Chains A and B, each alone.
Chain A
Amino acid sequence: MIQRHFLTLCLLPLAIFTLAFLAIPLGRLVLAAGEGDAGWAIYLQILQTPRYLSTLGQTVVVSLAVTVAALAISTTAGLFLVRNRFVGRNTLLSILTLPLAFPGVVVGFMIILLGGRQGLVNQILPGHWTFAYSITGLFLGYLYFSIPRVLLTVMAAAEKIDPALEESARTLGAPPLRIVIDVLLPALAPALIAAGAIAFATAMGAFGTAFTLATDIDVLPMVIYTEFTLSANIAMASTLSVVLGLVTWALLLIARSLSGTNVAAGG
């Protein structure tokens, strides 16, 4: 009996904190969405207002593009690093996971250094190559922080693949490309879906990078931010936040059920 009380006591501080600063605020956010002039029809308003609709579309398109690119790059690099041991491998791996600790603003600055007015590309190449503040820059920024997250998920899964599978395919005469398509990719499929979901969700909600780069681009986090701070349209900011939160939460739930990874969706 004393043991039960002690366990309850252990859980109590966390329960109080979570209730006060997570459960009730989220409940408040959901209610705030319906408190505008439009009431709950505000969710319909998203679909009827061209600006919000095109923002949603644009955010989904960029996030999808980042997901596909990050999956392609990280799977290639990840498989290569898992299957080859060579001098400098650990250094490459360290470089590839370095951006995990970078906040979105720093990632944005990295892209400015590459593609801003004083950027590297503009200095090396003739003509004016400034892409940092365009949708290309945003894409590269999202790619920058997605690569390490996808890479770690893919590598963790690739290390668990039984090498005997590959060997037997090889002894049966399968060429390398066939082995990748018929053996490795099916074995990696759950991890790839999980990693893709993580990359997509992270890109959808990335505020810091967008804040640095997307001053003129309508992506969902930026629109939520301007609705809240500039337009003081709190109902709409809340509604869009609820939609965004539901989408990213659902995606990461899928990712977790498939691979059990927990990578934070910062950025």
Chain B
Amino acid sequence: MKSFTKIIPLLVTLLTCAFLLIPIIQSVLAGLTVNYFRGLSSGLTLKWIGEVWMLYSGSIFLSVGLALACLIVTLVLGVPAAYALARNPGRASRVLEEFISLPLAIPGLALALALLQLYGGWTEFRTSWLFILVGHVLYTLPFMVRSVLSVLAAIDLKTLEEGAASLGAGPARRFIDIVVPNAMPGILAGALTVVTLSIGEFNLTWMLHVPYLKTLPVGLADSYASMRLEVASAYTLVFFVMIVPLLMAMQWASARAQRIMQ
């Protein structure tokens, strides 16, 4: 009986891992084999990766650029706002926090339709990369705000600030010298989350992009629809190489921020 109750959960766990991992391995292999249909015996090659680089390097750079721009905007908008929310922990702050978190709950498709209907007529904005950036900031901002807010809520900000104020530090000085250093673990976790999510964002981006502004995931969708399996796989492999280290760093930073809070 005892072994029975251990073996079934172990089996479920292993099968689930297989379900998640096997296609990832397939895509890595397919991206590196000469002819996927004939199998590994056809030999290994970097030809497909090279082809991806020729076809899609622009989309990779666009995604990295967008992610960095998104990071800067979420830092500028999110960190001071999280501080203000932490200093005023009232009902109004809760409502505002809940409201900016709407993009987590409402599907990206619906948000994109909303943005398109309001700004679609403004051609210069509609066709620029800034329009995609707005979508990415909408989607990632709540992560930055909450990440910073949860760290700030766990420390005694008021006492620290009063100490600094009695020594003559003004509000801006206290924000830079006390709030930002103390919030750093939350800022780091938030920053890694923002970059990871921005690089992988598809749902909003697909609706907001124009043909000459393809981000990495949009390019992926394009390659799945129109390229041979090896090229699509090689492109997916490039994406994995970028996103998996980011995901790991993000999980590490979030766990670290949580530890510091306790």
A135 contacts chain B at the CB level, 8 A cutoff: no
> Which residue of B has the minimal Cβ distance to A148?
B20
Chain B nearest CB, measured from A225 CB (Å): 7
Knowing A77-B12, A176-B5, A245-B106 touch, does A2 contact B203 (C-beta < 8 A)? no
Contacting pair B217 A201 (CB below 8 A): no
Contact yes or no, B114 A28, CB < 8 A: yes
Stretch at the interface among B41-49, B181-189, B242-250: B242-250
Interface 0/1 of A219-232, CB less than 8 Å to B: 00100110010000
Q: Mark B166-182, 1 if CB is under 8 A from A, else 0.
A: 00001110010000000
Interface residue A14 (Cβ < 8 Å from any Cβ of B): yes
Inter-subunit contact A221/B107 (CB<8 Å): yes
A21 to B224, CA, bound (A): 31
Does A11 sit at the interface, judged by CB under 8 A?
yes
Check if A224 sits within 8 Å of B109, measured CB to CB: yes
- Chain A residues with Cβ below 8 Å from B139 are 264
Q: Which residues A205-251 have CB closer than 8 A to chain B?
A: 205-208, 211-212, 221, 224-225, 228, 234, 237-238, 241-242, 244-245, 248-249
**A103 contacts the other chain (CB 8 A):** yes
A10 touches B113 (CB 8 A): no
Among listed B50-58, B64-72, B79-87, interface-contacting one? B79-87
Of the residues B9, B76, B202, B247, contact of A76 by C-beta under 8 Å:
B9
Residues of chain B within 8 A (CB-CB) of A120 are: 22-23, 26
Give, as a whole number of angstroms, the nearest-CB distance from B133 to chain A. 10
Q: How far is the CB of A166 from chain B (nearest CB, A)?
A: 13
Instruction: Summarize B's interface: helix, strand, loop or mixed.
Output: helix
Across the interface, do B146 and A262 meet the contact criterion of CB distance under 8 Å? Answer: yes
Query: Is there an interface contact between A110 and B244, defined as CB atoms closer than 8 Å?
Result: no
| Shortest CB distance A77–B (Å) | 4
Contact B88 A28 (CB under 8 A): no
Distance (whole angstroms) from the CB of A56 to the closest CB of chain B: 15
B154 at the interface (CB under 8 A from A): no
Residues of A near B30 (CB, < 8 A) are 113
Contact (Cβ within 8 A) B13 A29 = no
The answer to whether the Cβ of B239 comes within 8 Å of any Cβ in the partner chain is yes
Q: Are A244 and B110 in contact (CB under 8 A)?
A: yes
> Which residues from B are CB-within-8-Å of A265?
104-105, 107
Chain A window 97-114, contacts with chain B (Cβ cutoff 8 Å), 1 for yes, 0 for no = 111111111101111111
The answer, yes or no, to whether A253 is at the interface (CB within 8 Å) is: yes
Other than the known A8-B84, A32-B117, A105-B202, what 17 A-B pairs have Cβ atoms closer than 8 Å?
A6-B175, A10-B80, A11-B85, A13-B77, A14-B100, A15-B81, A18-B99, A25-B111, A26-B106, A80-B9, A101-B243, A104-B203, A113-B26, A148-B20, A176-B1, A201-B105, A221-B107
Return 21 A-B CB contacts under 8 Å, by A number.
A6-B175, A10-B175, A11-B81, A13-B76, A13-B77, A22-B138, A77-B16, A80-B13, A92-B14, A96-B17, A104-B203, A105-B224, A110-B27, A113-B27, A205-B107, A207-B202, A208-B203, A238-B113, A245-B106, A264-B143, A266-B201
